[in-house]
Amino acid sequence: MLRQTRSVFQKLRCLRGQQRTWRLKSTSATEAALQYQPGQKVHGFTVREVVAVPDLFLTAVKLTHDKTGAQYLHAARDDSNNLFSVQFRTTPMDSTGVPHILEHTVLCGSEKYPCRDPFFKMLNRSLSTFMNAFTASDYTMYPFSTQNAKDFQNLLSVYLDAVFFPCLREQDFWQEGWRLENENPTDPSSPLVFKGVVFNEMKGAFSDSERLYAQHLQNKLHPDHTYSVVSGGEPLAIPDLTWEQLKQFHATHYHPSNARFFTYGDLPLENHLKQIQEEALSRFDRIDPNTEVPSQPHWTSPREDHVTCCPDALSPDPTKQNTLCVSYLLGDITDTFEGFTLSLLSSLMISGPNSPFYKSLIEPKIGTDFSSVVGYDGSTKEASFSIGLQGIAEEDTERVKEIINQTISDIIENGFEEERIEALLHKLEIQIKHQSTNFGLSLASYIASSWNHDGDPVELLRISESVAKFRQALKENPRFLQDKVKHYFKENTHRLTLSMSPEDAYLEKQAKAEEEKLHKKIEVLSDSDRKEIYEKGLELLAAQSKTQDASCLPALRVSDIEPTIPITPLEMSLTGGVPVQYCEQPTNGLVYFRAMCSLNSLPDNLKPYVPLFCSVITKMGCGDLDYRQQAQQMELRTGGMSVSTQVIPDSTQLDTFEQGILLSSSCLERNLPHMFELWSEIFNRPHFNDEERLRVLVMSSAQELANGISHSGHMYAMIRAGRHLTAAGDLQETFGGMEQVKFMKRIAEMSDLTQVIRTLPRIKKHLLNPASMRCAVNATPQKMSDAEAQLESFLKDVAANRKEHKRVREDIISKPLDPQKPLDPQDASGGSRNLVSEQHFQPCQMKTYFEMPFPVNFVSETVRTVPFSHQDYASLCILARMMTAKFLHGEIREKGGAYGGGARMGGVGLFYFYSYRDPNSVQTLSAFHKGVDWAKSGCFTQQDIDEAKLSIFSTVDSPVAPADKGMLSFLSGITDEMKQSHRQRLFAVSHKQLVEVAERYFTVGQKMFGVTILGPENETIKKDPSWLVL
């Protein structure tokens, strides 16, 4: 078998001509950049420094703009996913959210592109792989990335014009910031309320107690300057901001003299410089922006403080909802090596079961998990380190403080094991080698904070130098790290102990404070003011409803999209009796291993436990290793080992799906035998009996799930709404929906976990079974046969787990793994996937309301449609995109004030309408229905359709990392040929087809749908018997 595979690989190597040109081109990008000379003048810029950074395969070129002093860094690298970002140092001195509201409003139209909302419109006129804007505590960043050179130019032009020459119209400020408006804008007698996108966004953000805590902690640890205010906006301070103040903030902060430009990728630097100079910088002179952040004066004695939050109805133990954490102010982040050392030190102190704080705080189960802010934070001018717990009882807070002090003393006394330091440096090596698809964006965020305070971004990129310096420091002084702990923690008097506890009347108080604020604003209004507010509200509504002319904006055309996709060569063969997919990739010395294990023989009553099984199976110890040793070995030898649940829809049949779990891991080539040895022990001798360990893991999973709802509420609503619509829906809800959240809460509340401990080995017997498993390996061609040999010996080691279990259900069908090889019992080399096929499944309609302690809603209506290979699937994808951009965005976000909303076609054959952090509920449902009417009316243009196509293709063609190539085929059986057919159907979607699918799938009475809302108590819905309120 081995030999045969090898010959196949030789064949594959001959096919890899295209990839070779990819490599040549890459070399030339980094080499071309090396030709720049310090002192050289290029388009108004002067080159300051040119540095090769071989670790990251890039050349860094640092420049400054002559006339304005704008700073520029280019990272030339073998990567077609080019990135641009511009960041401004934005240092507000109040909590009105001025930088955040400005970030929103500059994207509402500019001098050259005056149409409303060019940013959102460009999403549909571009093949961007990423477009966004962020407001941090002390900077605002505007990044985009794309693989297309023309697109790069277009987006650059729109971005430059937006940030430097925005319109900043009063209406934009009302829409994005805040405004007083009649609750119903067309009814002047309806009450006046606060509206505005950022106003609602921040109300939503602070309904998340973790976020609230993090904000308080930062404000109170740095009390003397910009970090003492809320840069995103304190909801009740937002209505103090005026339009004049907003414009003033723009003039002083969004200036080239206060800007840092970053570009990344294989496009030539010179073109970027020319365009930036011509379209923006040449129009400015130098100013002194005066935005420096002074150092925080250090306290002479530690401080304590307390805040309150909303009680969490889903927390595993309602009596344990307190958070306590100690935060230490560290050194200036522009000291690169000190920052590097402190962030490593932080990992040693808190990461994984071998770290001293995990042992002293997590394992005694005083709380459910670390506090939401934990470890090193280098996002402020002076870094900080925080350590503490959430989910603790009030009487335990003193104990937590004592433990923290004691642990620090113990660290100073005992230091760290050498092996742990090695494991950490190994992890760093893997992180550097792992090729991600958003490398440019990661770099931009990695350097942003230090550069923002004039640290040297190039120095930050030279990670190997820091590693060498670190090793040297340890060699010279074995107490190097202990001395740091003594200095930064034990002897540091600038430290804050902040506790947070739930307050029953919290929401009421918030609501009352908002009412008072509103009252204050309203009581001074004269009749003519009210009339003006009403009229302005109508004007805004009219502007929002007007059809937009976006023709001023640059756009790619559908003809700019590549008509065909490149084929990824895959080889399927049988290794050790198990089907394996091999995919040769430039993985940079890493090997990626996956195994998909079927759930078909698992009894239904065990299914709710599968997510728990997945999260603990690699964390409880195995073979001779206890869980600490196992974690150590995993860090030392692998890039991580994890297991996740999978519910994979069939591409042709709606009520057919595969159910399983996916094992994933990676390692450096030299560690292959170690990685497989760890998997062998997990298969052969996993530990399940340590109840104490299990309880720790259960509690942190339950806490994580409960915390996740406030930022992923729309996902929970979508999954729930689809629960009864397809055969797979119920399992999806069981594994990843509200049912799972509730299930884990119940487990976390059990005083005795014996029953769970008995259940886990039963699940293991069914799942970790080579008889119903298939594997995938991505590695370099040089390493492939070695990987195969190692995999074969692993499969031999676990062969005893091979069992032919009886399937618990009858309706299982088999499909070939390799579509080129039809199933042939004589030749099993292709292997098969065994899918559940419920041909007689009856969908049913449900409307479910989850009452949650949030001030905002997450709304979803989900409709049963067709699977991936159906001819209408492509039309539904385009329809979802077009309806979002041309209708729902305006209704739900602009008019409704939600943070987001739209429609999406899902691979599971469901079409989702959704909204995110939405002040409305029932009104949003009717917006969905109006969207359908709009689609059926056919009142859209060819331009609208083309834009939706571009937008869909930017997703379809988003780059795939070498580690993930071939995975869609491996998991779902969707081959490159099938993707190509889908591609052709997408190109062909017509106006007529769009109207037809809107009628076919969304007509009331015909459609099969489910609705779910997560939101606060809702009187209208409570009274409506068609709703199930939970």
- If the CB atoms of residues 166 and 353 are measured against Zn ion, the closer one turns out to be 166
Q: Which is nearer to Zn ion, 85 or 354 (CB)?
A: 85
Which region among 200-208, 529-537, 578-586, 820-828 touches Zn ion (by CB under 5 A)? 200-208
Closer residue to Zn ion (CB): 201 or 658: 201
Strand partners, 649: 657
- What x/- string results for residues 201 through 220 when contact with Zn ion is judged by CB under 5 A? x-------------------
**Cα torsion angle, 547, 553, 557, 558, sign:** negative
Active site residue 571: no
CB 952 within 8 A of CB 983: no
Q: Which stretch binds Zn ion (CB under 5 A): 194-202, 474-482, 596-604, 766-774?
A: 194-202
E strands in 176-242? 179-182, 192-195
Three state DSSP letters for 915-933? EEEECCCHHHHHHHHHHHH
Please report where in the chains the tokens 């530690």 appear, as a residue: 302
Residue 993 in tokens:
């087809």
Report CA 552 to chain centroid distance, whole Å: 32
DSSP symbol at 958: -
Q: Cα(854)–Cα(847) distance, rounded to whole angstroms?
A: 19
Q: Is residue 807 classed as helix, strand or coil in its secondary structure?
A: coil
Query: 419 and 628 in contact (C-beta within 8 Å)?
Result: no
Element (H, E) at 304: strand 303-309
State the nearest-atom distance from the C-beta of 163 to Zn ion, in Å. Answer: 15
In this structure, the number of other CB atoms found within 10 A of the CB of residue 675 comes to 23
- Taking the C-alpha atoms of residue 900 and residue 197, their distance in angstroms, rounded to an integer, is 9
State how far Cα 202 lies from the chain centre.
19
Residues 6 or more apart whose Cβ sits within 8 Å of residue 79: 26, 264, 265, 266, 439, 440
CA Rg value for the chain: 29
The end-to-end CA distance of the chain, in Å, is 57
10 Å CB burial of residue 94 (0-12, 13-18, 19+) is middle
Q: Which residue has the tokens 């970053």?
A: 262
Q: Minimal CA–CA distance to 406: which of 483, 490, 330, 348?
A: 490
Question: Judging by beta carbons within 10 Å of its beta carbon (0-12, 13-18, 19+), is residue 441 exposed, middle or buried?
Answer: buried
What is the rounded CA–CA span in Å between residue 836 and residue 16?
37
Closest C-alpha to 322, from 367, 385, 387:
367
Q: Least CB distance from residue 232 to Zn ion, whole Å?
A: 7
Nearer to Zn ion, 201 or 792 (CB): 201
Query: DSSP letter string over 392-431?
Result: E-GGGHHHHHHHHHHHHHHHHHH---HHHHHHHHHHHHHH
Report the relative pairing of strands 179-182 and 130-131 from DSSP bridges: unpaired
Distances (CA, A) of 700 to 615, 622, 693: 10, 21, 11
Burial of 965 by CB count in 10 Å (0-12 exposed, 13-18 middle, 19+ buried)? Answer: buried
Among 168-176, 193-201, 246-254, 782-790, the segment contacting Zn ion (CB under 5 A)? 193-201
Site map for Zn ion, 92-121, x if CB under 5 A? ------------------------------
Check residue 567 and report its DSSP letter. P
Question: Angle formed by the axes of helices 729-736 and 691-721, to 10°?
Answer: 140
Burial of 603 from C-beta contacts in 10 A (0-12 / 13-18 / 19+): exposed
For 248, residues 6+ apart whose C-beta sits below 8 A from its C-beta are none
How many separate helices (H) and strands (E) can be counted in the chain?
35, 31
Instruction: Give 104 or 774: the residue with its C-beta nearer to Zn ion.
Output: 104
DSSP per residue over 886-898, as a string? IIIIIIIIIIT--
Closest CB to Zn ion among residues 104, 982: 104
Sequence-separated (6 or more) residues with CB below 8 Å from residue 505 = none
Query: Among residues 103, 181, 459, 681, which one is catalytic?
Result: 103
* Shortest distance (Å) from residue 917 CB to Zn ion: 10
Looking at residue 149, its amino acid is: A
Structural tokens at position 874 = 């492509």
Give the catalytic positions in this structure: 103
- Interface positions with Zn ion (CB under 5 A): 201
